[in-house]
Amino acid sequence: MAQPFGHEKLTVYQKAMHFAMLRSALLNDLARCVAACDHLERGAESIVINIAHASNTWSPKERIVYLGQANGSALECAACLDVLVAKAQLAHDQVCPGKSLLAEIVSMLIAMRRTAADRVCEDHASYRTKNGNLFDHEDLDVYQVTIKLIALLDPLLAKCSCSADLRSKLDKSTTSIVLNIAEGNGRFTGADQSNFYETAYKATIQSASLLDLAGGSRPDAAASVEECRELLRRVAAMLTALSKAVMHE
């Protein structure tokens, strides 16, 4: 029997492989492909690959980088599952096993980073937020407001006579807000966090302009469009405050 690579013996690697298989099963059942699908596909692969790299590098600095990238991808995948629920592509019960598995992976990656000066070793700490959520980014008001926005947008756009290309762009830009908030919150330095929040802010501005284009075709939907605009204004304000706050920590 062939000798396995060192990373293949790691529980966190095996859990990442398990999530990759679970992700494939979820995507196969979707009625339509949205931006979150592609991010979920790539993110699951990134977790696996970066854990393998972290396990097989001798440089502590490089190891921390790989672990950070794996952690960011895990948080991105968790946010993708939230987006798919908000878009009514998956039910909450369908994503719970995947999110719980990702929470285990994140807790192991954080513990591994603490011991990154040594060779990669595993530990497992409980990973629950102060509000009882699985992930820290789920405690953020800006994250919850953006998820609410996405849930409102899909039925609104179904009433508008905008092009499929415009709907696709709005899907991509609003999904980008959510994913950058999630991944940014999981980064290990204030500078990294700020970069992700700034990217989310730019996606928010883009989403606002795309919403103006989409909503202009349906005067009777003006109230719903304005509600979404107000949510985007709140998101922009909170992202600006978050970006400044993490740079001064």
Question: What pLDDT score does 99 carry?
Answer: 96
The residues near 165 (Cβ < 8 Å, ≥ 6 apart) are: none
Domain 6-114 has CATH 3.40.50.2000: no
Cβ(206)–Cβ(189) below 8 Å: no
Instruction: Please name which of 194, 181, 172, 222 lies closest in space to residue 33, comparing C-alpha atoms.
Output: 172
The residues near 135 (Cβ < 8 Å, ≥ 6 apart) are: 75, 78, 99, 102, 103, 106, 127, 129, 182, 186
pLDDT, the chain, mean: 88
Question: What pLDDT score does 58 carry?
Answer: 82
Q: pLDDT by residue (tens digit) across 133-149? A: 889 999 999 999 999 99
**pLDDT exceeds cutoff 60 at 128:** no
Cβ(94)–Cβ(76) below 8 Å: no
Cβ(40)–Cβ(5) below 8 Å: no
pLDDT band for position 217 (50/70/90)?
low
Residue 249: is it exposed, middle or buried by C-beta count within 10 angstroms (0-12/13-18/19+)? exposed
Residue with tokens 């980008």: 176
- Which residue would you say has higher pLDDT here, 198 or 4? 198
Q: pLDDT by residue (tens digit) across 64-84? A: 889 999 999 999 999 999 999
Domain 140-247 has CATH 1.20.1250.20: no
Same topology, domains 6-114 and 140-247? Answer is: yes
Alpha carbon separation from 90 to 27, 32, 39, 104, 174 (Å, rounded): 9, 11, 16, 21, 18
The CA dihedral of 62, 75, 177, 164, to the nearest 10 degrees, is: 110
Cβ(46)–Cβ(16) below 8 Å: no
Question: What pLDDT score does 125 carry?
Answer: 46
Domain range list for the chain: 6-114, 140-247
**pLDDT exceeds cutoff 80 at 45:** yes
**pLDDT exceeds cutoff 60 at 126:** no
The CA dihedral of 225, 175, 144, 224, to the nearest 10 degrees, is: 10
